[in-house]
């Protein structure tokens, strides 16, 4: 009986491709969902999305955030997104490509955002993740840090934290770490 289904499936594929063109690549459920999420994006004016591999690769893209408020006002921060074929059952992998002095983003670009880890649910979307990243810049959280030094400064001396953020965004050293200009 299994062979019968394989024969029927092969006949269906042949019928679909009878036009003489190349075989049609089927999209995974993850690709279909990403396509839907991207078509329904409702981003803040200060966020944009780019597809460096072209619109045919929706599973890998970049998001740029330009905070319009808070410590990071005037900065430009890029994030890469890699979406799994089993999305939305697995959160996208997000990395900050811009080296930033931030309590919730380490110097390697790892991002500490609860919805990318334990609080991820399939009902969440790419739009939700982008808003979460945007929120990290308007209200950095020293209580759940990846960069413990930046978190301690934010908690204990917000004025020094603001000065360190400005120095880092202008292109300079904070302690022993050099940050490229991102303003």
Catalytic residue ranges: 112
Contact 112, 143 (CB under 8 A): no
13: Cβ–Cβ under 8 A, 6 or more apart, which residues? Answer: 23
Q: Is 2 helix (H, G, I), strand (E, B) or coil?
A: helix
Best CA proximity match to 14, nearest among 5, 4, 24: 24
Contact 100, 168 (CB under 8 A): yes
Residues in the chain: 183
Contact 78, 133 (CB under 8 A): no
Best CA proximity match to 101, nearest among 57, 162, 28: 162
Q: Is 74 helix (H, G, I), strand (E, B) or coil?
A: coil
Best CA proximity match to 46, nearest among 170, 133, 161: 133
């Amino acid at each position: 009986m299994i062979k019968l289904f394989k024969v029927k499936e092969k006949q269906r594929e042949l019928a679909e491709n009878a036009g003489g063109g190349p075989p049609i690549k089927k999209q995974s459920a993850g690709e279909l969902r990403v396509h839907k999420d991207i078509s329904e994006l409702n981003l803040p004016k200060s966020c944009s999305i780019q597809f460096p591999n072209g619109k045919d690769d929706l599973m890998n893209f970049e998001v740029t955030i330009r905070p319009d408020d808070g410590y990071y006002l005037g900065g430009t921060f890029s994030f890469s997104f890699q979406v799994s074929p089993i999305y939305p059952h697995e959160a996208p992998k997000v990395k900050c490509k811009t080296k930033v002095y931030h309590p919730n983003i380490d110097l390697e670009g790892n991002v500490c955002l609860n919805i990318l880890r334990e609080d991820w649910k399939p009902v969440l979307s790419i739009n939700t993740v982008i808003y979460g990243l945007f929120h990290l810049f308007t209200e950095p959280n020293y209580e759940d840090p990846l960069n413990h030094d930046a978190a301690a400064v934010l908690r204990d001396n917000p004025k020094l934290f603001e000065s360190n953020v400005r120095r880092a965004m202008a292109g300079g050293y904070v302690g022993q770490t050099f940050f490229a200009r991102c303003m």
